[in-house]
Structure 1
């Protein structure tokens, strides 16, 4: 408090605290949805890989975000009531704050990347025309990453002064977590092998990810060696590694998923030319912008510099700047892709609901999908259910709206009418957000009545929601 007496830090704390609670509730919601609301016959061994990675990510949210919530609560007690959890006097320990933040922070990295892994699994299988190789090992590797991600956080501060045994343990565990990740990479490669690969935009992003992420992963294993970390800690080498895995993994995954599922969400495909231009600008710009940072880090350049006096760094800095400009061109191409697609959407309409010859159930309905998703609940009898039905193999899905042969999902008969439960429209989320803003603002500025009113409003809204039993029947 002595070093940051103003309300800026309080804004940061309450904003993240409220957002963290919302994230935790979302994680509980999605985990429950995956566990309880799967299609009939869809056991765990029949879930799409994306569902596995989403499940693992949300389990991590449930396990990790309470750490963040407790950490911020203790820091707020330090600032508001004079507690000494993280101070340097009266028994406090500032390094405990760092430990707690990274005990949440490293699982958070996997919360980001695991859904992207699921996107790549679906895209690579679809555009290779093959089932994903090693389904069971993919699922096991996903859950192994989920567990191991809680055993590596101390590699963020090997220089803290812990014993060699402690650093050695966390260094080894950081190397171990690369094993299930490597299993995934090899499975993707074997999925590509022997397949009929279509180099559409989602597939290009997936291939770019595989190369980029492997480089980032190898530098991550290098950073897991404590003596190496002592040399490059807080240098641009670390910045390059982080961007290598987050941009090359999470952002490329977002672009792959955006191009893959956009036709399903909006009913028309995206412009392929602009999409490929965006990909190549991004991939070229990325390597120009971030590969030089590895060299600069080894040359001693630290991160968060206001300026640098070593003129020997300038050539590589200029190359990195040029890469950033090319990335900017990639962003412009992405915007142009969306604009061009909207302007020509009439001729890009997707009447089939399945422009990519998809493998999973969402491609069996119209694009955009109806509010009720499926006219009759499907019964799943294997993996890649929709693709198997389309290709005339032994039916894996029993649904009156599916055909057993042919490329399209033409209905074989009129589905039996039945009640479909659809979640009703509700303003509860907006109301809770309104009260949360009031509560946070009141706590930041010590406005007691506003904080109390906001808190009571949140509680009242949640209680009201708990007794709501409305449902629409379509």
Structure 2
């Protein structure tokens, strides 16, 4: 056996109470060691443990449940709007409430569901897939969840008290400025944007660090699963995209509360500055949702085709190319503004060019399926639906990349249809497939396959019945964001059809939810690796133990579970009574050093409460941003204050023998 750590690190840090150096091993830990390891990495029980939890699987489950809760809220708002538009001159909803409905629907889906749910899946799966015992910065991970939860609840509470945002989910100025939107509606929206995007930025830092430094020995960059590549690329996009919208929302609220003039042309500001800042985030956001979906598809296709994904280097390069090109498209949302025509032509070219890496990935998946032994399970059905829906959404996207056509259908239901074909087809269908795929891993139970197929049929048919007619409505001239229409327009038939499809969608989602709930309570036990997958997250039990693996694995290929056993098989010698994690190098995942991870604590929760109070207080007075930072600073100080007992227990492990 060769030492995992370099000699200098092995001499300076001892791995266990017996001062045994960490090394590559072939003998698994004993049952007593595994039980002690589980107790060491577990969160405390009860309500106190719920507040203190830092285990990435517990936080990931909370992220998933919360995100789907917001998805349900946004879906109910959409059904409300469809009922209003099902017939002409309907009086179910007035114009003021309708403005709040479409604004809250878009805001909830884009800011509270689409990106957070993708990060939620990554929080749970990525550490398992790279062979780590924990996610990087586990306390910050918990803090990011609480910030996300409180920010979303703040927005929904405003809606329930008739203070819901009403200026559209992209809040164009001057409509969202102080002159045209008095009151606190836009203030709550702007603060929520800044607040929840903070959670996204924190998660991006956490995931990048996890992928770069906590991979199992042997998992070089060329052996990383495509899902991990997708989440890594997405995390870097978040770092570059989200600060733009946070800056824009902060400038908007200072215009409204402090009297600055960032967007006031009468005082030297520029309304188009808002659009540039917002869409510099807004169009990459589409790919923040889309690229994780590509990672889901690569994982599901490989498993149910029983072979590695064809063209691994091309797939990785396509993901990276998509990320780069995504930052050069934002002006195609601004073709109706008075920008130079020559400049618009470059963005037209970029909008068409970005279809190339997506096409490369689709051809690689088709080649994988064509050369494999297909097991047609329900997760793969959602992937096949993605192929059909995304191609239609991509074709309309190429149409909208043309300036003349875009000017004709701008702000019409054609754009609404394109948006939903890309986002629901390109992200939600792969997401639902991923939920079914990893459901046995998360719960340890198998769902009912027949019911899953029925829910898929309802979702697929309902989706197309809902959104395909909107293309025709847009071409017939129906504008978006109108709460009613005259009977002589001839739009009532297609609107009624779309409303029927929306309820089919809701029925499919409800059937899927019932299936998952019943399987969670009474489903068949999943056992170990029920799909016969090849990636590391299935190498442990279902669900995984608190420490993920009794012994961190050593990787010898891209699909380690499909390879014959090789030695060494795992890392031995790490502490079992302390939260010790092996840290590896960025490129080749060779062992570098060991790190002690923090224990559960309530201070991330209380720090998030303090930050929430600060943000809400600042909506009503700018001084809230000053005085509200005091309790937040106290919470953060106690969060990082070293604990004497932990320090005393770690010191003997860090001394030289």
With the length of structure 1 as denominator, give the TM-score of the two structures: 0.91
1:312 to 490, 511, 517: 490
Q: Is the Cα–Cα contact under 8 Å of residues 262 and 268 in structure 1 kept in the other structure?
A: yes
Q: 1:30-179 alignment to 2 at 5 Å?
A: 30-179=207-356
Q: Is the Cα–Cα contact under 8 Å of residues 378 and 452 in structure 2 kept in the other structure?
A: yes
Q: How far apart, CA to CA, are the structure 1 residues paired with 2:235 and 2:641?
A: 26
1:228 to 381, 401, 405: 405
User: What is the CA distance between 1:365 and its match in structure 2?
Assistant: 0.3
1:311-332, Cα deviation, whole Å (9 max, x unpaired) = 4222222221221121121022
Q: Is the Cα–Cα contact under 8 Å of residues 439 and 445 in structure 2 kept in the other structure?
A: yes
Corresponding residue for residue 321 of structure 1: 499
Provide the secondary structure at the position in 1 that maps to 2:490: helix
Q: How far apart, CA to CA, are the structure 2 residues paired with 1:145 and 1:441?
A: 37
Q: Is the Cα–Cα contact under 8 Å of residues 123 and 202 in structure 1 kept in the other structure?
A: yes
> Structure 1 stretch 19-28 or stretch 454-463: which is displaced more?
454-463
Aligned length: 451
User: What is the CA distance between 1:141 and its match in structure 2?
Assistant: 0.7
User: What is the CA distance between 1:343 and its match in structure 2?
Assistant: 4.1
Q: Is the Cα–Cα contact under 8 Å of residues 197 and 246 in structure 2 kept in the other structure?
A: yes
Q: How far apart, CA to CA, are the structure 1 residues paired with 2:186 and 2:493?
A: 38
Q: Is the Cα–Cα contact under 8 Å of residues 380 and 398 in structure 1 kept in the other structure?
A: no
Q: How far apart, CA to CA, are the structure 2 residues paired with 1:175 and 1:428?
A: 48
User: What is the CA distance between 1:447 and its match in structure 2?
Assistant: 7.4
Corresponding residue for residue 364 of structure 2: 187
Corresponding residue for residue 456 of structure 1: 630
> Structure 1 stretch 428-437 or stretch 46-55: which is displaced more?
428-437
User: What is the CA distance between 1:176 and its match in structure 2?
Assistant: 0.8
Corresponding residue for residue 408 of structure 1: none
Q: How far apart, CA to CA, are the structure 2 residues paired with 1:117 and 1:429?
A: 32
- For the structure 1 residues 428 and 249, does the alpha-carbon distance in structure 2 shift closer, same or farther, using more than 3 Å as the test? farther
User: What is the CA distance between 1:460 and its match in structure 2?
Assistant: 3.2
Q: 1:278-357 alignment to 2 at 5 Å?
A: 278-309=455-486, 310-345=488-523, 348-351=524-527, 353-357=528-532
User: What is the CA distance between 1:7 and its match in structure 2?
Assistant: 1.5
Structure 2 runs not aligned, ≥5 long: 1-177, 581-596, 651-657
Q: 1:17-32 alignment to 2 at 5 Å?
A: 17-32=194-209
User: What is the CA distance between 1:204 and its match in structure 2?
Assistant: 0.6
Corresponding residue for residue 365 of structure 1: 540
Q: 1:436-447 alignment to 2 at 5 Å?
A: 436-446=611-621
Corresponding residue for residue 410 of structure 1: none
Q: How far apart, CA to CA, are the structure 2 residues paired with 1:437 and 1:82?
A: 23
1:316-357, Cα deviation, whole Å (9 max, x unpaired) = 222212211211210221122123313422xx1022x20000
Q: How far apart, CA to CA, are the structure 2 residues paired with 1:227 and 1:187?
A: 34
Tell me: higher relative CO, structure 1 or 2? Use CA pairs within 8 A at least 6 residues apart.
2
Q: Is the Cα–Cα contact under 8 Å of residues 554 and 570 in structure 2 kept in the other structure?
A: no
Q: How far apart, CA to CA, are the structure 1 residues paired with 2:421 and 2:385?
A: 11
Q: Is the Cα–Cα contact under 8 Å of residues 274 and 336 in structure 1 kept in the other structure?
A: no
Q: 1:354-433 alignment to 2 at 5 Å?
A: 354-389=529-564, 395=566, 398-399=568-569, 418-419=575-576, 421=580, 423-433=598-608
> Structure 1 stretch 377-386 or stretch 451-460: which is displaced more?
451-460
| Root mean square deviation of aligned Cα | 2.0
Q: How far apart, CA to CA, are the structure 1 residues paired with 2:640 and 2:326?
A: 34
Q: How far apart, CA to CA, are the structure 2 residues paired with 1:429 and 1:360?
A: 32
Q: Is the Cα–Cα contact under 8 Å of residues 376 and 416 in structure 1 kept in the other structure?
A: no
Provide the secondary structure at the position in 2 that maps to 1:320: helix
Q: How far apart, CA to CA, are the structure 2 residues paired with 1:371 and 1:98?
A: 45
- For the structure 1 residues 185 and 267, does the alpha-carbon distance in structure 2 shift closer, same or farther, using more than 3 Å as the test? same
